[in-house]
């Protein structure tokens, strides 16, 4: 039994960083992230019989992680102020600011904190999609299966999350004087 568990841990190990950092961005602190990863691991270990050989193991682990988060952690996590999209996006499709590569280069070292704040303020469903797509290289189709929502929903959440992030980073950059107000064409 001990050996089987150790073997299973070896199988999970290549994905541990991915699981942990997603958990960290969702729960907001290290101890909770570790708890969530541990819970994910144990559920996966017990439910390994349900895993279909040949299918995507990483996506399967993320399914367990996100469900555990949604069912459990989310209910009791410190609730940061959630971005109200009706407030950020007045109407229709928004024109989001784009940075030039030079802007980003100037900003890069100071980008971490405002980006974290912007992410924390996104509704969890949007944040999850953003994290899985941007940092974990999961495809829209995989994310759609993980969250049990249509691909169109994945796309709209992702694009909104990115739009909000760009906008907040642009605001930050302007406040800090790193970015000149550009004339919109």
Residue whose pair of structure tokens reads 């691991």 in the numeric block: 41
Q: Does 133 bind other proteins (CB under 8 A)?
A: yes
Q: What is the distance between the alpha carbons of residues 82 and 122, in angstroms, rounded to a whole number?
A: 6
- Which residues between 60 and 79 bind other proteins (CB under 8 A)? 71-72, 75-76
Q: What is the distance between the alpha carbons of residues 165 and 69, in angstroms, rounded to a whole number?
A: 22
- Selected range binding other proteins among 51-59, 82-90, 92-100, 174-182, rule: CB under 8 A: 92-100
Q: What residues contact residue 60 under an 8 Å CB cut-off, 6+ apart?
A: 44, 51
| Sole binder of other proteins in the list 29, 48, 105, 182 (CB under 8 A) | 105
* Dihedral of alpha carbons 95, 129, 86, 84, sign: negative
Q: What is the CA radius of gyration of the chain?
A: 19
Q: Does 30 bind other proteins (CB under 8 A)?
A: yes
- Selected range binding other proteins among 53-61, 80-88, 93-101, 175-183, rule: CB under 8 A: 93-101
- Selected range binding other proteins among 51-59, 82-90, 106-114, 175-183, rule: CB under 8 A: 106-114
Q: Does 158 bind other proteins (CB under 8 A)?
A: yes
- Cβ atoms 170, 179 nearer than 8 A: yes
- Cβ atoms 33, 16 nearer than 8 A: no
Contacting residues toward other proteins, per CB under 8 A: 1-2, 5-6, 8-10, 12-13, 16-17, 19-21, 24-25, 30-31, 34-35, 37-39, 41-43, 46-47, 50, 71-72, 75-76, 98-101, 103-105, 107-108, 111-112, 115-116, 119, 133-135, 139-140, 158-159, 162, 166, 169
């Amino acid at each position: 039994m001990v050996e089987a568990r150790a073997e299973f841990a070896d199988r999970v190990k290549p994905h541990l960083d991915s699981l942990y950092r997603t958990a960290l961005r969702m729960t907001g602190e290290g101890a909770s992230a570790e708890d969530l990863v541990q819970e994910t691991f144990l559920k996966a270990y017990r439910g390994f019989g349900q895993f279909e050989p040949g299918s995507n193991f990483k996506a399967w682990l993320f399914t367990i992680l996100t469900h555990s988060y949604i069912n459990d952690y989310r209910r009791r996590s410190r609730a940061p102020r959630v971005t109200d999209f009706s407030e950020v996006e007045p109407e229709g499709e928004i024109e989001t600011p784009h940075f030039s590569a030079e802007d980003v280069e100037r900003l890069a070292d100071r980008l971490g904190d405002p980006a974290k704040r912007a992410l924390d303020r996104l509704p969890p469903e949007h944040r999850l999609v953003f994290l899985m797509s941007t940092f974990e290289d999961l495809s829209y189709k995989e994310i759609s299966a993980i969250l049990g929502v249509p691909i169109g929903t994945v796309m709209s959440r992702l694009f909104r999350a990115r739009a909000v992030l760009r906008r907040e980073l642009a605001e930050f950059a302007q406040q800090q004087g790193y970015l000149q107000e550009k004339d919109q064409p």
